[in-house]
Structure 1
Amino acid sequence: MIELTTALQGVAALFVCFAVVALYRVYQGPTAHDRVIAVNVVGTNTVIAIALLAGAFDDQLFLDVALVYALLNFLLSIAFSKFNVERGGVL
């Protein structure tokens, strides 16, 4: 039977793969809004992967890193949205 640590590492790797796939939308996205959402998806998947690794390695430091990264991801999304509104990107 698969060990819990191995399963958590595998799921974390899967979320990293999802983030890499979302990077295509960041690069190719037809509009700025698509790119902002894709950056947010990449950040969220990264936070989930770090949190899963925290459970796999039983290390609280990873959770601290995931929390700080989640807050930075949120602030980045707000900053992009504010920038788009100020330059008239919202209909």
Structure 2
Amino acid sequence: MTGFSIAAEPGLLGIAIVASMFGVGLAMLMGLWRLARGPTVMDRILALDTLNVTAIAELMLFGIHQGSSIYFEAALIIAMLGFVSTVVLSKYVIRRDIVE
């Protein structure tokens, strides 16, 4: 199911996608830095959520760059798992219990 062919076109759109991938990669590095240095647990949870969003963006951009739709499905799975993990971690920090 490869319906588009941006990968074969080296125009301005291809350059913009590659530049965006570098920008999102830089955002991932900053998120990793906050994850390692975060002074509180909530900062670390926010850094994990940021890494989740940037990983989704990176997969979407890579899928557009490659011209394949399988990366969009992987991004959807990561989005669902990331949302659940953020909710569970936040609930654990607030209540010290996951199951009510």
Of the candidates 35, 53, 72, which is equivalent to residue 63 of structure 1? 72
1:12 aligns with 2:13: no
**Distance in 2, Cα, partners of 1:63 & 1:42:** 17
Residue type of the partner of 1:34?
Answer: D
Normalized against structure 1, the TM-score is what? Answer: 0.86
Task: State how 1:1-91 maps to structure 2 within 5 Å.
Answer: 2-87=11-96
State the number of aligned residues: 88
Superposition RMSD on alpha carbons, in Å?
1.8
Match of 1:59, SS state, is: coil
Q: Please identify the structure whose Cα radius of gyration is greater.
A: 2
Gaps of 5+ in 2: 1-9
Residue type of the partner of 2:37?
Answer: Q
**Distance in 1, Cα, partners of 2:11 & 2:69:** 23
Q: CA deviation at 1:47?
A: 0.4
**Distance in 1, Cα, partners of 2:37 & 2:88:** 21
**Distance in 2, Cα, partners of 1:18 & 1:68:** 21
Say which structure is richer in helix: 1
Gaps of 5+ in 1: none
